[in-house]
Amino acid sequence: MFAGVPFLTVAIGMWLFRQQPAMRRRGGAVFPLFVGGFSLLWTILVSAWLITGYLAAQSALREGTAKVVEGPVENFHPMPFTAHDTERFDVGGVHFEYGDYGITPGFNNSSSHGGPVHADEYVRIHYIAGPSGPVIVRLEIRD
């Protein structure tokens, strides 16, 4: 969510040192303002997108509009520890796919990094429609 913050920090540092000879040769204040403005805009937009998605997920749970599917985990494909793939599985004919490093307002904790979903487990999943498929907003695993 805060991926733009490091760039914003660099831009502030460049702004503070804009009077140094090396910075004056590179445009002085123009480049730090550009980097800072872009970083701030990026951070605000991504944060707004995530917060909106999180609020929609919570609203769907609260109002009972989230879809529910229940059954055993089928076609389980764990995400490799190196994260060059996604974790995916099916429950009751609904396909779920996620990864630890994806930005999502829902569940995304893969089994290779300690997540609770494994092959053949019996689960109940509350989900909402997302831009790239169902987003898990509540996951229940039978003991």
Instruction: Locate the domains of the chain by residue range.
Output: 5-63, 67-141
User: Between these two residues, 102 and 63, which has the higher pLDDT value?
Assistant: 63
Q: Which amino acid is at 18?
A: R
Angle, helices 5-16/30-63, rounded to nearest 10 degrees:
160
Q: What is the pLDDT of residues 44-100, one digit of tens each?
A: 888 888 899 889 999 999 999 999 999 999 999 998 888 788 899 999 999 999 988
Percentage of the chain modeled with pLDDT above 90: 41
Per DSSP, 82 falls in state: T
pLDDT band at 12 (very low <50, low <70, confident <90, very high): confident
Write the DSSP assignment of 21-49 as a string of letters: HHHHHTTTTHHHHHHHHHHHHHHHHHHHH
C-alpha span between 139 and 82 (Å, rounded): 24
Residue with tokens 């980097």: 35
Residue with tokens 């494994």: 118
CA 98 to chain centre: 9
C-alpha span between 125 and 138 (Å, rounded): 6
